Amino acid sequence: MKRDYLLFVLFTLVVLAAPCAFKGGYLLNVLVFMGINTMLAVALNLLLGFAGQISLGHASFFGLGAYFSGILSTTYGFNPWLTMLIAAVAVGLLAFGLGFPILKLKGHYLAMATLGFGIIVYIVFNETVALTGGPSGLSGIPNLRLGGILFDGDLKNYYLIWSFALVTMLLSINLAHSRIGRALRAIHDSEVASRVMGVNARLLKVQVFALSAIISAVAGSLYAHTMSFISPASFGFNFSVELVTMVIIGGLGSIFGSFLGAALLTMLPELLRVVQDYDIVVYGLLLIVMTMYMPKGLAGGIATLWRLLRPKKNGAIDHAQG
C-alpha cells in the first residue's frame, strides 16, 4: 500500500519533468495521447481488473463524452468546462441505467451485450449527420481555457491531460485500498461469497460501471477539446478492444499496469510504422504471448523480476508480497 503511494509520487515527478526531455512537438503529442489512454485504461481496469466484469464497448463512453462536449460547445456555444461536466453526468446516468440490466449477464454474454451497445453508439455517431457531422466528423471544437491560459499547444495540453490522468490514478489507488476496492475484488474472486458477506454485488457492479464510464467520458471531453476535431472512427469496436488489450497487457487490477499497457499501446503504432498494416498481427502476438507467459501483465512481470533480483531476507515476508 505504502509502495503504491511512493511509486505514485515518483511517477508524478517523472510526468512533470518529461516534457523537458522532449523538445519536439511530435513526441509530446504522443505523450498527450498516452495520458488520455492511461485515463481510459485505468477506468476500464476498475471494471475489468477489479470487479472482473468485461466491457467491449468502452470506446463508446469515450466517444459519447467527446461528442457531448464537442456538440454542446461547438454547435450551441456552451463553455467547454461546463460541457465536460454535462458529458460526465449524462454518460454516468446512461451507464447507470444501462448497467442494471446488462450487468446481470456474465462472461461471454456480458461481452456480447457491451459489444452490441458499442456498435449501436458507433452507428448513431455515423448516422445522425445533422448533429455529429457523420463520418466526416465534427471540427472547430474550442479549446479549454483556465484563467488566462488557453490550452492550444502540445505542452499546455500535455500538462492539462496529465493532471487529469494523475488525479484519476491517485483516486483509483485510493479506491483500490479501501473497502470498496476490496469488495470489488471479492466479487471478482467469488461473487456468491461476497454477497454472503453482505456486499451488494449487483449495485456495486453497476456503480463501478458508471464510474468507469464517467472517467471515460471525461477523457473523451478532454480529447475533443485538445484535438478540436473528432470523428466516429476513433470510437469504434477496434478501440474498445485496444483498451481491453491495454488493461490485460498492463496487468489486471494494477493501476500502474494500466499506465504501462496504455504507454505500450500508444507507442507501438509509432514503432511499428515499418511494418505498416501488419501492426494488428503484432498486437495479436503480443496478447497471446503476454497471456501465456505473463498472465499478470507488465506490472506482474516487473513485480516478479523485482522479487527475483532483490536479496532474500525472509521466506515468509517474500511470500507475503506475492
Partner 1 sequence: MLRVEGITQIFGGLTALEDVSFQVEKGKITGVIGPNGAGKTTLFNIITGLYTQSRGKVFLEGTEISGFPPERLAPRGLVRTFQNIEMFSQMTVLENVLVGLHTRSRCGIFSCAFKLPWQLSEERRMREEAFRWLEFCGIGELADLEAGALPFGKCRSVEVARAMAVNPRILLMDEPAAGLNSRETADLEVLIRKIRETGVTVVLVEHDMELVMDICDAIVVLNLGKKLAEGTPREIQENPAVIKAYLGEG
- In the three-class reduction of DSSP (H, G, I as helix; E, B as strand; rest coil), residue 150 is classed as strand
Question: Pairing between strand 149-150 and 145-146?
Answer: antiparallel
H helices present in the chain, as ranges: 2-21, 25-45, 58-74, 80-102, 107-127, 129-132, 154-176, 179-189, 191-196, 201-227, 237-250, 255-271, 279-293, 297-309, 315-320
Closer to partner 1 by Cβ: residue 12 or 174 = 174
Total of chain residues touching partner 1, rule CB under 8 A: 33
Assess 183 for contact with partner 1 (CB under 8 A): yes
Binding mask 243-262 for partner 1 (x = CB under 8 A): ----------x---------
57 neighbors 39 (Cβ within 8 angstroms): no
Assess 47 for contact with partner 1 (CB under 8 A): no
Q: How far is the CB of 52 from partner 1 (least distance, A)?
A: 10
Name residue 80's amino acid: P
Q: How far is the CB of 310 from partner 1 (least distance, A)?
A: 17
The burial class, CB within 10 Å (0-12 / 13-18 / 19+), for 278 is exposed
Closer to partner 1 by Cβ: residue 121 or 204 = 204
Of 193-222, which residues contact partner 1 (CB under 8 A)?
A: 193-201, 207-208, 211
Closer to partner 1 by Cβ: residue 156 or 188 = 188
Q: Which of 147, 189, 274, 309 binds partner 1 (CB under 8 A)?
A: 189
Closer to partner 1 by Cβ: residue 65 or 253 = 253
From 164, 181, 249, select the one nearest 1 (Cα to Cα): 181
Q: How far is the CB of 190 from partner 1 (least distance, A)?
A: 4
Q: How far is the CB of 179 from partner 1 (least distance, A)?
A: 5
Q: How far is the CB of 189 from partner 1 (least distance, A)?
A: 4
Name residue 71's amino acid: I
Task: Report the C-alpha dihedral over residues 174, 176, 177, 178, rounded to 10 degrees.
Answer: 90
From 277, 248, 222, 224, select the one nearest 48 (Cα to Cα): 248
Closer to partner 1 by Cβ: residue 126 or 174 = 174
C-alpha cell of residue 198: 453482505
Name the residue with cell 494523475: 166
Assess 163 for contact with partner 1 (CB under 8 A): no
Closer to partner 1 by Cβ: residue 50 or 122 = 50
Assess 291 for contact with partner 1 (CB under 8 A): no
C-alpha cell of residue 209: 460501471
Binding site for partner 1 (CB under 8 A): 171-172, 174-175, 178-183, 185-186, 188-190, 192-201, 207-208, 211, 253, 316, 319-320, 322
